[in-house]
Amino acid sequence: DAGVIQSPRHEVTEMGQEVTLRCKPISGHNSLFWYRQTMMRGLELLIYFNNNVPIDDSGMPEDRFSAKMPNASFSTLKIQPSEPRDSAVYFCASTLNESPLHFGNGTRLTVT
């Protein structure tokens, strides 16, 4: 099993640009989560999906953030326009029913 796959591993972009982060969950998992990790705020849950449907997006900070899950094997998190305060490590995780979460290696985003 390849685990949760995220791309890119690193992203450096200028303020105002659109950023798209990608995630491929573990095959067969039915829930997918997007987290953001910063020194100041720790690990924040942004949004999670169950069976490709967004269940809770209360953690999405602003309208500049959007997430989609068009099918069971792919999800995107988009920031448009990006700002320096969006700089963080973004983790994707997946799970099946009540099993523990499996995390991807994360995308380190730097917005200058």
Which DSSP letter does residue 86 get? G
Structure tokens at 45: 């849950």
**26 Cβ neighbours under 8 A, 6+ residues apart:** 1, 2, 3, 4, 94, 96, 102
74 touches other proteins (CB under 8 A) = no
Q: Which residue carries 């994360």 as its tokens?
A: 106
Closest to other proteins by CB, 45 or 72: 45
Instruction: Determine the size of the site formed for other proteins (CB under 8 A).
Output: 20
Q: How far is CA 36 from its chain centroid?
A: 7
Least distance to other proteins, CB of residue 96, Å = 10
Candidates 5, 52, 76, 103; binder of other proteins (CB under 8 A) is 103
CA atoms within 13 A on the CB side of 66: 7
Map the footprint of other proteins across residues 9-48, applying CB under 8 A.
31, 33, 35, 42-43, 45, 48
52 near other proteins, judged by CB under 8 A:
no
Which of residues 21, 104, 109, 111 is near other proteins by CB under 8 A? 104
d(CA 22, CA 24): 7
Q: Can you give the binding site for other proteins, defined by CB under 8 A?
A: 31, 33, 35, 42-43, 45, 48, 50, 55-56, 91, 93, 95, 98, 100-101, 103-106
